[in-house]
Chain A
Amino acid sequence: MSVEIKLDQRIASVEILKQYENLLEIKVDDRIYQVDLMHNDEGIFSILANGRSYNIELVPQPKPKLFTAYTLYHNYDIEVIDAESRYLRNRSGAVQLTSENTISSPMPGKVIKIPVKIGDEVKKGDTVITISAMKMESEYKSPIDGKVIKIFVSEGSTVDAHQKLIEIE
């Protein structure tokens, strides 16, 4: 079983067939490419393929084997699925799903206001938390009619990107 790369929703298998220094013959799914590849430790890649020059930058994410890839105009979330991650995934059974009813912050910021408390009934669309980042205040609304069951942060605290804020049931 070879290594697979997950690019957004697509999962591709990839394999090196031949290599001589910077010249590689490499197979992605069923397509074979002869590429001239140079890169550095900061994730900057220069790839020449079929006469075209591709500039790609990979930025590592906090978790290993996760990257954000930048091409000229597009960004992709990349995950490398190797034997180790496959093993871990199988052992822990199904991948743990984060609840769709958990509100998390898409960016770092500071909590300005939490107008609800645990146990409050909220309607879909009610503002449950206000976050400020770079002088912009954003209001986050409840995705469902329900009850506030967990509040993970407090007013005045700073939050990281993708941090859980409030859970509603």
Chain B
Amino acid sequence: MQKFNKILIANRGEIAIRIMRTCREMGISTVAVFSDADRTSMHVRYADEAYHIGPSTSSESYLNADKIIDVAKKTKADAIHPGYGFLSENAGFAQKCADNGIKFIGPSPQVINQMGNKIQARLTMIAAGVPVVPGTTESLKTEKDAVDTINKIGLPVMVKAAAGGGGKGMRLITSDKDIVSLVRSARSEAKSSFGNDSVYIEKYISSPHHIEFQILGDQHGNFIHLFERECSVQRRHQKMIEETPSPLMTPELRKKMGEYAVEAARTVNYEGAGTIEFLVDNDLNFYFLEMNTRLQVEHPITERITGIDLVKQQILIAEGHPLSITQDKLRQTGHAIECRIYAEDSDNNFMPNPGKIYNITQPLGLGVRSDGYVYEGYEIPIYYDSMISKLIVWAENRTEAIERMKRALYEYKITGVKTSIKFLERIMDTADFRSGNYDTNFIEKNKSTLLADTKCTPECEDMVIIAAYIEYLDRLNIAQTSKEMYTAQNRWKKYTYQKNFERL
């Protein structure tokens, strides 16, 4: 059994910090890597060591496997944690780590290949007897192949990148005239996100629930699942809110899906933390969608209800420890919800809104966890994902968790960039969400209330005007800035001056 003394985190932003936090608790020193745009990113400041690996574009930095391996060798790191995104599901990178005697924290390159390629994963699951979404079982390399296949399956269909994930390179096609343009844009996005433009086609299941199971497997053939996560609140096929337990779930269904999830992991002899994603329809039929061979963005809600640090489990498994938890000892305690805070303009089709953080106040208090990375004065780069933080709450039951999330969102204040906070708070007030009666069409269905154009009261508007006026007057006289609070400057001494000035 190996003991890691130093881990390189081949990622950036909030997930890099999340991983380093656990490393710090385990007494493992941390190595950060960063691109040109990320010199001032918090993960660089948090780590024990930090090394520059290239230009801002991710293909030249965070996706540059050789450069990252060089840093790991130079710093004598025992292992590399890839986080999510970037190289986390790149079998070539996992292989390079192995070739250089560095432990890749995750499954073997063979398993990444087998499950990471969505088409192969479908074939594997079919062989293991797990139900899958109807569709193609081979990849479509050319535009013509894709269009022909769509015509054969019949609309509506989903086009998905074979190497995909995170909603990239994925398009829903509902009408004939869009086939060519949507296939083209899916392929172009797949190419730029994953360096591979092959796609596959799935029959589109309307209004499904997106429910996933967290699994853990060690090097000794032990497998467990850590229950489900309900991820149906999505916009642009990207998750926005996740919760566990799922309001849709019954104990029988949980048992059945959990057994399939463990079976899926066992079939490929999975090592580390992984996620089996399912689509579930309203009649509780479920279909395997894909397996993510990495830590998920939404892993904290599972941590919160099971009390298990998943990153710590990943590290212990990678060191060769057998799992110390057995399935029958696991309990779901209370209810956890995660909201993803994106730098985006909800009123403008969720357009990303990069920029400089002017002020930030993060929520605190009972049952609140905030996993973020931005700080005051930090400029969010245009090159990477627009998620700036994750807000996770836990409470005894679902109703209390929703109220707590509302309270936490009320406390969360970010100025300088537009964020999804207001939009998320409105979701907490939506009847369909509160009743737990929602599917992946939730945002589309509730659009009119979620995006309603409201104004603050006339008095509130007048207060904004007063604030702007005082700011303007005080700025006329201030050279230095401080964060101390003070009264509006007394300007009666300057009364005549002011009057003359206004008379101009």
Contacts and interface: CB of A to CB of B under 8 A. Distances in A.
Interface of A: 1-3, 5, 7, 10, 12, 14, 16, 19, 21-22, 24, 26, 28, 31, 33, 35, 37-47, 49-50, 52, 54-59, 65, 67-76, 78, 80, 82-84, 87, 106-110, 132-138, 158, 161
27 contacts: A7-B465, A7-B468, A16-B491, A24-B470, A31-B462, A33-B462, A37-B470, A38-B485, A40-B482, A40-B484, A40-B486, A41-B483, A44-B359, A49-B459, A56-B463, A57-B358, A69-B464, A73-B456, A76-B464, A80-B472, A108-B382, A133-B354, A133-B382, A134-B352, A135-B385, A136-B351, A161-B355
Interface of B: 168, 185, 188-189, 192-193, 343, 345, 348, 351-355, 358-359, 382-386, 410, 413, 415-416, 418, 422, 425, 454-456, 459-472, 474, 478, 480-488, 490-492, 501-504
Contacts of A57: 358-359, 413, 415
Contact of B386 (A44, A82, A134): A134
B504 A56 contact: no
Nearest to B349: A138
Contact of A41 (B345, B415, B482, B491): B482
A83 B502 contact: yes
A70 B351 CA distance: 19
Contacts of A134: 343, 352, 354, 382-386
Nearest to B384: A134
Contacts of B460: 54, 71
Contacts of A69: 464, 467-468
B469 A136 contact: no
Given A19-B488, A19-B492, A56 B385 contact: no
B419 to A, nearest CB: 10
The B interface, classified by DSSP as helix, strand, loop or mixed, is mixed
Nearest to A74: B456
B464 A78 contact: yes
A135 B168 contact: yes
The A interface, classified by DSSP as helix, strand, loop or mixed, is strand
Nearest to B487: A22
Contacts of A38: 485-487
Contacts of B352: 107, 133-134, 136
B415 A70 contact: yes
A108 B468 contact: no
B466 A37 contact: yes
B491 A2 contact: no
B348 A106 contact: yes
Contact of A14 (B383, B466, B486): B466
Given A46-B485, A57-B358, A39 B467 contact: yes
B458 to A, nearest CB: 8
B468 A80 contact: yes
Contacts of B502: 1-3, 83
Contacts of B416: 59
Nearest to A135: B385
Contacts of B461: 7, 10, 76
Contact of A33 (B343, B466, B490, B492): B466
A107 to B, nearest CB: 6
Contacts of B471: 39, 43, 45, 58, 67
* Shortest 5 CB-CB contacts between residues of A and residues of B: A41-B481, A83-B504, A22-B487, A134-B352, A134-B386
Nearest to A44: B359
Interface centre among A41, A54, A78 (most CB of B within 10 A): A41
A39 B464 contact: no
Contacts of B192: 132, 137
A134 to B, nearest CB: 4
Nearest to A136: B352
A71 B456 contact: yes
A158 B478 contact: no
Contacts of B425: 73
Contact of A45 (B422, B467, B504): B467
Given A22-B487, A49-B459, A5 B469 contact: yes
B466 A26 contact: yes
Contact of B467 (A56, A133, A161): A56
A59 B376 CA distance: 12
